[in-house]
Amino acid sequence: MHYMILNYTPPSEYADADAVAAAAEGVVWGAYTRALIEAGVLVGGNALHPSHTATTLRVRGEGRDIQDGPYAASKEQFGGYYIIDVPDLDTALHWAALNPAASSGAVEVRPVVMRGSA
Partner 1 sequence: MSATDEIERVARLSHGRLVAILASRTGNVTAAMDALSDAVDRELEVWPVQGVPARPEGWLIATARHRAADAGRTAARAAAAAEALTLMEEERMDMGHAATPDRILNLMFVCAHPAIEARMRTPLMLQLVLGLDARRMAGAFLIAPGTLGQRLTRARAKIEAARIGFALPDGDELAPRLANVLDAVYAAFTVGIDGEGAGDAKSTSLAREALWLGSLIAAQMPEASEAQALFALMLYTQARRPARVDGSGCLIPLDEQDTSLWDARMMADADLALRLAAGAPTLGRYQIEAAIAAAHADRRHGHPTNWGAIAGLYRGLAALHPTTGALTGLAAALGEAGDPAAGLTVFDAADATHAAAYQPWWAVRAHLSALAGASGQAIACYDRAIALCPDPAARAFLERKKANLRSSCLADLPRDFSSTSD
Q: Which residues bind partner 1 (CB under 8 A)?
A: 1, 87-91, 93, 109-111
- Please identify, using beta-carbon distances, which residue of 38 and 90 lies nearer to partner 1: 90
- Please identify, using beta-carbon distances, which residue of 52 and 110 lies nearer to partner 1: 110
**Sign of the four-CA dihedral 26, 29, 35, 41:** negative
- Please identify, using beta-carbon distances, which residue of 33 and 91 lies nearer to partner 1: 91
- Please identify, using beta-carbon distances, which residue of 16 and 88 lies nearer to partner 1: 88
- Kindly state the smallest distance separating residue 68's Cβ from partner 1, in Å: 34
- Kindly state the smallest distance separating residue 97's Cβ from partner 1, in Å: 11
- Kindly state the smallest distance separating residue 91's Cβ from partner 1, in Å: 8
- Kindly state the smallest distance separating residue 6's Cβ from partner 1, in Å: 14
Task: Give every CB contact of residue 107 below 8 A, 6+ residues apart in sequence.
Answer: 5, 6, 7, 8, 96, 97, 99, 101
Task: Give every CB contact of residue 94 below 8 A, 6+ residues apart in sequence.
Answer: none
